[in-house]
Amino acid sequence: MKIGSPALLLTALALAAPLAAPLHAQQEVPSDLSLEQALEIARASNPSFRQTRNDERLADWDVRQAWGRLLPQANASGTVGWQGTGDQQFGSVTLGDLGFGGQPSYYSSSYRVGLSYTLDWSAIKGPSLAKANRETTVAGIGAAESSLVTQVTNGYLEMLRQQEAVRIAEFQLENSEFNLRLAQAQLEVGAVTGIDVGQAEVQVGRSQVQLLQAQAGLETARMRLLQQLGQPMGATFELSTAFALSEPTWQIAELREMALTRNPTLAQRRSARRSADIGVSSARGSYYPSVSIQTAWSGFAREASSTDFQIAQAQAQVAGSIGQCTAQNELFARLTPPLPPLDCSRFAFTDAQRQAIIAQNDQFPFGFQRSPPSVSLTLSVPIFTGLSRQRSLEAARLQRDDAIEQIREQEIALEADLSIALANIRTQYQSALLEERNRLLAEQQLDLARDRYQLGEITFVDLVDAQTVLAQAEVDQIRAVFAYHDLVTNLEALVGAPLRD
């Protein structure tokens, strides 16, 4: 097969595809993206939020592990060993000194199966503490989700804001082009000079620059929103959710009630307080005794690489027995009267003994000799541990006290932030209404300025000033409207619930 053949290229791409695949498949962004769809995509694809959400799985395993501490622990082990040839030494004496030199190498194996169970107060309180910590983790995930909702909503609003900026820039460009045509018509009839036409062309150029800048701002807002959604930058879409300017009718009492029950940060701190309470009880358990039970079963197997040494030992023992028997017969023969001789043939080393030695040596690796089982019960009562228990208990109490103060601090901050936020929203709503009226007045002034310019009552500079006033009024109105929505988004983050339809 040639290097550049299509088949080889397709094979290489097929092998590389699994390596190049992303860890998380990207969701498709719809062509008409609503705020609800954007939030759903962000919850599923935002990398930072996914990392935070993974903490819940670890918290679940912490609960399982806490329950596991109440169960006995089991362990099994096995060893395999080898010992080379040579004389073993026992203090200053070797086996060779005792007449057992020339030992073969040995193979050995062993096993051990043990059960142990330890019960103390920290193990008893472990499941409760792990559950409370999991609730704190879940509350932290809720706080992260609330922050994500705020970020995505702000990003969505920013893109809407930039779309309005593009619309205003396009409208201003149309007005500038209309003024240019108006100045050219006035020049043809000799009502103005070429200076007015030049000023109109400059105004058109400035409007084109503003449009380019507004389009760049819109593209930047689009990519930032995709970044928050965890999506590739190439996705194209249009926003379909509209944010209406509505009079704020919320009352501070109902907002405070919602915030005290649904604010994610407050919920997280309350969960931390419950964990701290259990932590104090768990730390107090260091003063209580603990019970430990242990039992084990074990076995050992040992096999020589050669049975010659063992057979020689057995033969030496038989020869010694025969020698002793012969000596006794000689002694018996000298007695008066002599005693009947012993049968020394019964000490002969037989082939059956040889085969028995060989069979007994055949132990490696599973011919275990079981050791006696063992069971032990230990009761441990702590008496003095160098003040470590007192320090741990005091640290747990201080952590609980800090959690209480953090809850109180958050409740005070919520009450202040809600009052300030509601007052700012009401002020911003009135400002938006005033800016809308100013924009309508600026439109009327521009229409009047055009009519007077056609009649020659004002200069082109006055006409441009009227257009600039309208442009600024448009910008101020959009800024006021979206500032209102930004404040409402922040208020929703405080109460932990949506407030807009």
- Same domain assignment for residues 32 and 175: yes
The pLDDT of residue 96 is: 59
Can you give the residue range of the structural domain that contains 296?
A: 72-119+291-380
Least confident of 12-21, 237-246, 462-471: 12-21
E strands, 320-466, in order: 369-370, 374-380
What would the mean pLDDT of 408-430 be, rounded to a whole number?
96
Instruction: Say yes or no to pLDDT of 415 above 60.
Output: yes
- Same domain assignment for residues 218 and 186: yes
CATH code of the domain covering residue 250: 1.20.1600.10
Share the mean pLDDT of the chain.
Answer: 88
- Same domain assignment for residues 303 and 344: yes
Instruction: Please name which of 431, 433, 437, 438 lies closest in space to residue 469, comparing C-alpha atoms.
Output: 438
- Would residue 370 count as lying in a domain? yes
**pTM metric for this prediction:** 0.77
Q: Coil, strand or helix: which one is 45?
A: helix
CA distances from 43 to 1, 40, 144, 230 (A): 48, 5, 10, 9
Residue 111: phi and psi, rounded to 5, are -140, 160
Question: Alpha-carbon distance 204 to 198, whole Å?
Answer: 10
- Token pair of 242, please? 């509209």
Ramachandran assignment for 91, one of left (phi > 0), alpha (psi -120 to 50 degrees), beta (any other): left
The pLDDT of residue 21 is: 41
- Same domain assignment for residues 60 and 200: yes
- Would residue 17 count as lying in a domain? no
Instruction: Say yes or no to pLDDT of 417 above 70.
Output: yes
The pLDDT of residue 335 is: 82
pLDDT digits (tens, 9 = 90+) for 153-188: 999 999 999 999 999 999 999 989 998 998 898 888
Is the Cα dihedral 5, 8, 10, 12 positive or negative?
Answer: negative
- Would residue 268 count as lying in a domain? yes
| Residue at which a domain ends, from 349, 380, 411 | 380
The pLDDT of residue 238 is: 95
483 neighbors 247 (Cβ within 8 angstroms): no
- Same domain assignment for residues 345 and 301: yes
- Would residue 343 count as lying in a domain? yes
- Same domain assignment for residues 324 and 259: no
Instruction: Please name which of 474, 496, 433 lies closest in space to residue 245, comparing C-alpha atoms.
Output: 433
Instruction: Say yes or no to pLDDT of 4 above 80.
Output: no
- Same domain assignment for residues 154 and 182: yes
Output DSSP code: residue 95: T
- Same domain assignment for residues 60 and 170: yes
- Would residue 252 count as lying in a domain? yes
| Residue at which a domain ends, from 338, 364, 380 | 380
Domains: count for the chain: 2
Q: Coil, strand or helix: which one is 314?
A: helix
Q: Coil, strand or helix: which one is 380?
A: strand
Instruction: Say yes or no to pLDDT of 475 above 80.
Output: yes
- Same domain assignment for residues 301 and 278: no
77 neighbors 69 (Cβ within 8 angstroms): no
Instruction: Say yes or no to pLDDT of 490 above 70.
Output: yes
424, burial (CB in 10 Å: exposed 0-12, middle 13-18, buried 19+):
middle
Contacts of 258-262 with CB under 8 Å at 24 or more apart are 258/495, 258/496, 258/497, 259/414, 259/418, 259/494, 259/495, 259/496, 260/411, 260/414, 262/495, 262/496, 262/497
Give the dihedral of Cα atoms 244, 248, 250, 256; nearest 10 deg.
90
- Would residue 501 count as lying in a domain? no
pLDDT digits (tens, 9 = 90+) for 181-235: 988 988 888 887 888 899 889 999 999 999 999 999 999 999 999 999 999 998 8
- Same domain assignment for residues 60 and 198: yes
Residue 83's H or E segment, with its range, is: strand 73-83
pLDDT digits (tens, 9 = 90+) for 241-270: 999 999 999 999 999 999 999 999 999 999
- Token pair of 391, please? 């320090």
Question: Alpha-carbon distance 444 to 437, whole Å?
Answer: 11
Is the Cα dihedral 285, 288, 289, 291 positive or negative?
Answer: negative
- Same domain assignment for residues 423 and 437: yes
- Would residue 133 count as lying in a domain? yes
Look-up of token digits 């150029």: 205
229 neighbors 38 (Cβ within 8 angstroms): yes
Least confident of 97-106, 278-287, 334-343, 345-354: 97-106
- Same domain assignment for residues 244 and 170: yes
Question: Alpha-carbon distance 84 to 7, whole Å?
Answer: 59
Other C-beta atoms lying within 10 Å of the C-beta of residue 185: 12
- Would residue 431 count as lying in a domain? yes
| Residue at which a domain ends, from 380, 404, 436 | 380
